[in-house]
Amino acid sequence: MAVTKPATVGTIIAVMSNDANPSQTIKESVETAIREATALAQSARFDEAEATCMAAARDLGDHAELWKCLGAVRHHRGDSANAAAAFQKAVDLAPDDAGAWSSLGLMLATADRSGEAIAALRKALEIDPGQTAAARNLGLSLMKSGKPAEARDVYRTLAAQLPNDADVLGWLGHASAAADDIDTAYAAYKRSLQIQPGNQNLELTLALVERDLGLFPASRSRFDRLLAARPDDPVLRFAQAQNFLLQGDFVNGFREYEWRWKRPGMEVPEFNAVPWQGEDVAGKTFLLHDEQGLGDTIQFCRFAATLRDKGAAVTLLVRPRLRRLISSLSPNASQDIAVIDTVPPGASFDFHCPLMSIPYRLGMTLADIPAPQAYLTAEDELIAQWRPKLAEWSGGKLAVGLNWQGDPSSQSERGRSLPFDALRGLLALEGIHFFLLQKQHGRDALAGIADLPNVTDLGDALDLGDDAFVDTAAVMHCLDIVVTSDTGPAHLAGAIGARSWVLLKKVPEWRWGTAGSAMPWYPTMRLFRQSVRGDWSGPVREIANALKTSL
C-alpha cells in the first residue's frame, strides 16, 4: 500500500513483534523504507521519496543501503550532483560495496566530474572485476577525458567478458580508432557488424576504417552499397569524396566534396552576390571566401590568382588572423586581389564562391592544379629582423626548422603528428643547427633541450601578436630546410617556396596522396611517408640520411 507520509522508526517498529531480534528488526525497517521510497520515486513523488530516506536514516541510523536508495531517487529526479553526494556517503559507510562505487562513478560522470568518476569506477572494478556497468561507464568517461588508449584497454577487457555484445564491441572500435589503433578498431567493428548485420552506421564506420588501412577497393565497395540505399546522404557522399581525392581522382572527388555543405550544421555563407557555378568571370567582381582550417586557406588561396588571371576583380575574405599573411598574394593594387577580413556593409559582388569549391567549378584534374614555386611571401622587414639572429645562432651550420605537432582538437589530427621524442635522434647529427618552430601544443617533451648547443627554441618568440604565421614565414624563408608534420606550418612552408620536408602517416589526409615523395601542390616540398602504420622511425631515418647529404 502506498505511503503518503514519511515513515519513522516508531511507526515501522510498531508493527514488529516485541520479541523480534533488534538487528533483524532494523534491517527489515531499512528494507521497508527503501521499498516505500522506491514506490514513491516511481510515481514521481520525489520529495516524499527523499523525505522517507532521510527520516529512516535519522531514526534507524546511517545505513549504506538507505544512502544508495537516496542517491537513486535523486538520480531519477535529475539531480546528479546531490545524487553523487548520497552515493559518496554510501561508499563511506560501505567501502567494499562495488555497486555503490559504480553508482557514484555514474553520478560523477553525469555531473561532468570525469576525473572523480574515473577514480570511483576504477575502485568498483578493483573490488569486483565483474561490474560490467562500471566498465562501460569507465570507458565512456575515459573517452570523454581524452584518454582513448586507456578506454580501449577497458573495453578490450569488457569485450572478453561480453564477446557477443555489439555495443561493447562498437565502443572498443571507437576507442581504438581514437587511439590510432586501427587494426583493433577494424576487428572490433567487423565483429560487431557480424552480430548486427545491416547496421548502416557500422557499415559507414567500417568503410572509413578500411580507407584508413589503405583497403581502398573494400572501402569503395562498402560506400557503393551504402549509397545505393541512401544516395542523398551528405555524410556518405562527403566521405566518399575523400576516397576519390586521396586516390587522385579530383574530378569525382571535388564534385562529391560539394556535399560538405549539406551535412548537418553546415551552411554556405550568404552574401550580396550570386553563387558562382563556373560562369565566365571576365570583367566581373568576385568574392572568394575561406573555410575550414588555417592550412586549408593557405593551400587554396592560390585560386584567387587563377580567377584574377581569368579577368575577375577578386576580393578574398579570410579570418582576421590570416589577413596579414594572405595579403602577400597581392603586394600591389594593380593585381586586382583585395584581401579583407570583413565584408563592408552594403558591399555587393557579381559572384561569390567558397575557396575549396574552385577546383570543382573549374573542372580541374590533379594535373591542372596551379603550383607556382611560391605564391605567398614573408615580409621583408621581418626577414631583415630574423636573418642576422638565425645566422648568429646557427654559426654557419645547416639551419633546419622542426615542427611536429598539429592542433589536437582537429578532426584530422589522429596519427598525423609525431612526438618530439621521435625526432630527438636528429639532434645528434653534426654540422646542423636546429630551430624549434613548435608553438602551443607538443612542447611538453622539451625539458633540457634548450641546453643543447645546436638547438634554439623559437616557439615562444614567434607570432606573438594577433597575426598568424608572419614571424614563422620570415624564419622559414631564412632556413635551409623545414622539417614538419602534416600541419598548418607545412602548408605555409610550401606556399612561400621554402625547402620543406613533410612527415606523413601511412594513409594521410586526401591532399597528400598515397604514394611518392613529390607534392603536386608544392614544388619545393618533399614527402617522407610511414611504411608501417604508427611507426615514425622509418621516415625519420630517411630524413636523417637526407640531412647528411645536404651538408
pLDDT for residue 6: 37
Residue with cell 599573411: 325
d(CA 237, CA 255): 10
Residues 395, 542 share a domain: yes
Look at residue 176 and tell me if it is in a domain.
Answer: no
Residue 356 half-sphere exposure toward CB, CA atoms < 13 A: 23
pLDDT for residue 23: 60
Amino acid at 509: E
What's phi and psi for 237, nearest 5 deg? -65, -40
C-alpha dist (Å) from residue 361 to 255, 328, 357: 9, 25, 6
Q: In 3-state terms, the chain is what percent helix, strand and coil (to 5)?
A: 55, 10, 35
Which candidate, 32, 46, 24, places its Cα nearest to that of 1? 32
| Cα 136 → chain centroid | 22
Residues 138, 50 share a domain: yes
C-alpha dist (Å) from residue 439 to 83, 435, 459, 474: 42, 12, 5, 15
How much is the average pLDDT of 427-432? 95
Residues 287, 249 share a domain: no
pLDDT in tens, 147-189: 999 999 999 999 999 999 999 999 999 999 988 899 999 999 9
Domain boundary among 241, 262, 283: 262
Residues 286, 239 share a domain: no
What's phi and psi for 261, nearest 5 deg? -75, -15
pLDDT for residue 43: 83
Residues 493, 361 share a domain: no
Residues 119, 56 share a domain: yes
Look at residue 373 and tell me if it is in a domain.
Answer: no
d(CA 29, CA 66): 11
Q: Work out the pLDDT band at 17, boundaries 50, 70, 90.
A: very low
Element (H, E) at 69: helix 64-76
How much is the average pLDDT of 364-370? 93
Taking the CB of residue 416, how many other CB atoms lie within 10 A of it?
20
pLDDT in tens, 372-394: 999 999 999 999 999 999 999 99
Look at residue 177 and tell me if it is in a domain.
Answer: no
Residues 348, 457 share a domain: no
The domain in which residue 221 lies consists of 204-262
pLDDT for residue 19: 43
Does the CA dihedral 222-224-228-232 come out positive or negative? positive
Look at residue 196 and tell me if it is in a domain.
Answer: no
Domain boundary among 368, 403, 418: 368
Residues 346, 292 share a domain: yes
How much is the average pLDDT of 67-96? 89
Residues 400, 349 share a domain: no
pLDDT for residue 410: 72
Look at residue 195 and tell me if it is in a domain.
Answer: no
DSSP 351-408: EEEEGGGHHHHTT--GGGS---S-SS---HHHHHHHHHHHHHHHTTSEEEEEE----T
pLDDT in tens, 324-351: 999 999 765 446 799 999 999 999 999 9
pLDDT for residue 70: 85
Residues 329, 255 share a domain: no
CATH number where 46 lies: 1.25.40.10
What's phi and psi for 486, nearest 5 deg? -75, 90
CATH number where 239 lies: 1.25.40
How much is the average pLDDT of 506-514? 95
Inter-residue contact 189 to 202 (CB < 8 Å): yes
Look at residue 443 and tell me if it is in a domain.
Answer: yes
Residues 296, 253 share a domain: no
How much is the average pLDDT of 286-295? 94
How much is the average pLDDT of 299-319? 95
Inter-residue contact 406 to 485 (CB < 8 Å): yes
How much is the average pLDDT of 356-384? 95
Look at residue 55 and tell me if it is in a domain.
Answer: yes
Which candidate, 119, 66, 55, places its Cα nearest to that of 89? 66
Check whether 250 has a pLDDT greater than 90.
Answer: yes
Look at residue 481 and tell me if it is in a domain.
Answer: yes
Does the CA dihedral 168-169-170-176 come out positive or negative? positive
Lowest mean pLDDT among 19-28, 104-113, 449-458: 19-28
The domain tally of the chain equals: 4
Q: Work out the pLDDT band at 15, boundaries 50, 70, 90.
A: very low
Domain boundary among 339, 368, 397: 368
DSSP at 518 = B
The average confidence (pLDDT) of the chain is: 90
CATH number where 350 lies: 3.40.50
Check whether 194 has a pLDDT greater than 60.
Answer: yes
Residues 278, 407 share a domain: no
Check whether 8 has a pLDDT greater than 50.
Answer: no
d(CA 106, CA 237): 38
DSSP 266-311: --PPP-SSEEP-S---TT-EEEEE--S-HHHHHHHTTHHHHHHHTT
CATH number where 420 lies: 3.40.50.2000
